[in-house]
Amino acid sequence: MLLRRLYHDRLAQAGYLFACQATGEAIVVDPLRDPTPYLEAARQEGVSITMVTETHIHADFLSGAAALSAAADARLLLSGEGNGAASYDWSAFPGAQRLRDGDRLQLGKIQLDVMHVPGHTPEHLAFLVTDSATGDTPMGLLSGDFLFVGDVGRPDLLERAAGMQGTMAESARQLFASLRRLATLPDYLQIWPGHGAGSACGKALGAVPQSTLGYERRTNWALGITSEEEFVTRVLAGQPEPPAYFARMKRLNAAGVPHAPSPRASNDEKLREAIAHGALAVDVRPSTEFATGHLPCSINVPLGNSFLGWAGSVVPPERDFVLVATPALRVAAEQAARELRLIGLDRVLGVLAPDRLEPIGAGALATLSSIPASALASEAGRGATVLDVRNRSEWDEGHVPGARLVPLAELNARLEELRDTGPIAVHCQSGARSAVAASVLRAAGFADVTNVDGGYTAWLRAGNSPTAGD
């Protein structure tokens, strides 16, 4: 048996290619929107993709299952579990085979037994993998977003991201029952999860690529709880705000992902003209460089591992935009432009990376002021609103007295709430998210905005006492 793990760092997402080397048949599980890496992996290994599937309707990226199935002329297999709003629009997948609990897929000498493991989502599947060339017992579990290294998939996304009210507690109970199904499986079973550390699909994912069920039984908090009520309470506690784009991903993945547009080639002159006519400038330089001079009405989303999550929360999908970078960042920015299409931000016009950033049209470059955390008290004294853009779980552990909470993922949707608040001092945990938030506020017309250097951590180090809870 051949196993290839194809991992995307910025999405912290793992897709898998399994192949029977005897027959040359391969299956891909949980592919991203771009089929190229999976087709290339199959070519390198000398196998043919004959089946494509996914563990569930994803919320954190656009699925590539249908596109890869078409490109490889392979069978498309999707979960037939779940119902209503928690299932696929089958009219968009006319040739797809519906998978049910207990089904078996045969791939030469490899068999994949389908397990319905609801909880993270109602239709979620996992696949027990057996290589009959070496034995008749399962060797691993493709667990998707059901079981991670050190954590389990969050059961709150249907309610908090997809708007299906009242589903969190029931989903948590389903997840508890699904985990009980693992009790009869052996300790040596390898666990191949769909995400690693940094994914918003869980709250405490491990950074190692795989584990064993026996190790997870020893170390994973979720497998050590025998009380359903305790499990429900703990799994729902402290879940971070889902990025704003998650709801849109769920809808598109269930209804059929549109074809990805071809990249648009634009020279600097055309990109400047587009910005002058209303395209959004998304500056991907470090926040310190952005603060010292940037195009007015641009927003700052620095390149890094959090880039896609932040961009998905603050870049409007219906608006044309241009990435602004330095020449040294051009290659990385062009790669980022391609990656934005993985989360449905298709209207990127190109990368503007001049040797020297100059104003477009009349006026001058804008700047963004910052203050040390020790100055928060004086900011509040002059009537400024202290805006906390961290997650609610962080806020509940402690926050600046008198501060106002608007998580970054909710900022665009709640801008009007802040219109009459006067000066705003923005902080997060360390100063990274707040720099993004401050740029969004300035671009939306808020004139008096400052970023708090070092954020809440620096404020605590200055000897201040927080308030906990609401």
DSSP string, 159-195: HHTT--TT-HHHHHHHHHHHHHGGGGS-TT-EEEESB
Residue 64, Cβ neighbours under 10 Å: how many?
26
What is the pLDDT averaged over residues 380-386?
Answer: 88
Angular region, 271: left φ>0, alpha ψ -120 to 50, beta rest: alpha
pLDDT of residue 166: 87
Residue 329 pLDDT class (50, 70, 90 cuts): very high
- Model pLDDT, residue 54: 98
Q: Per-residue pLDDT for 436 more than 70?
A: yes
Asked whether residue 453 carries a pLDDT value surpassing 70, the answer given is yes
Q: What is the pLDDT of residue 265?
A: 64
Q: What percent of the chain has pLDDT over 70?
A: 99
Using one digit for the tens of pLDDT, what is the confidence trace for 92-118?
Answer: 999 999 999 999 999 999 999 999 999
Lowest mean pLDDT among 132-136, 142-146, 345-349: 132-136
What fold, for 2-255? Metallo-beta-lactamase; Chain A (3.60.15)
Confidence of residue 470 (pLDDT cuts 50, 70, 90): low
User: Does CATH number 3.40.250.10 belong to domain 268-352?
Assistant: yes
Indicate if the pLDDT at residue 65 is higher than 90.
yes
Sorted by sequence, the CB contacts under 8 Å of residue 48 that are 6+ apart come out as 24, 25, 26, 42, 72
Q: Which of 54-68, 184-198, 367-381, 396-410 has the lowest mean pLDDT?
A: 367-381
Q: Using the predicted structure, report yes or no on whether residue 162 has a pLDDT greater than 70.
A: yes
The residues spanned by each domain of the chain are 2-255, 268-352, 369-461
Would the pLDDT of 264 be above 90?
no
Indicate the angle between helix axes 168-180 and 228-236, nearest 10 degrees.
120
The number of C-alpha atoms within 13 Å of 458 and in the hemisphere containing its C-beta is 16
How much is the average pLDDT of 387-413? Answer: 95
Residue-level pLDDT at 85 = 77
Return the ∠ at Cα 116 (arms to 216 and 84), rounded to 5°: 130
- Residue-wise DSSP of 386-434: EEE-S-HHHHHH-B-TT-EE--GGGTGGGGGGGTTS-SEEEE-SSSHHH
Which residues partner with 371 through β-bridges? 452
Q: What is the pLDDT of residues 142-152, one digit of tens each?
A: 999 999 999 99
Q: Judge if 2-255 and 369-461 fold alike in CATH terms.
A: no
Across the range 229-248, mean pLDDT stands at: 93
pLDDT-derived band at 278 (thresholds 50, 70, 90) equals: very high
Nearest to 131 by CA among 162, 102, 98, 109: 109
For residue 226, how many other CB atoms are within 10 A of its CB?
Answer: 9
For the beta sheet containing 385-388, the strands, ordered from the edge strand earlier in sequence to the opposite edge, are 369-372, 449-453, 424-427, 385-388, 404-405
pLDDT at 118: 97
Mean pLDDT of 179-186: 97
CB 456 within 8 A of CB 400: yes
How high is the pLDDT of residue 314?
97
Tell me the CB-side half-sphere exposure of residue 299, using CA atoms within 13 A: 27
pLDDT at 351: 96
Average pLDDT, the chain: 94
Q: Return the CATH architecture of domain 369-461.
A: 3-Layer(aba) Sandwich (3.40)
Which backbone phi and psi does 152 adopt, to 5 degrees? -130, 165
What pLDDT is stored for residue 263 in this prediction? 66
Q: Number of H helices and number of E strands within the chain?
A: 15, 21
> H helices of 256-306, where?
268-276, 287-292
Q: Which two tokens stand for residue 434?
A: 């707040």
Q: What is the average per-residue pLDDT within 48-77?
A: 97
State yes or no: pLDDT of 87 exceeds 80.
yes
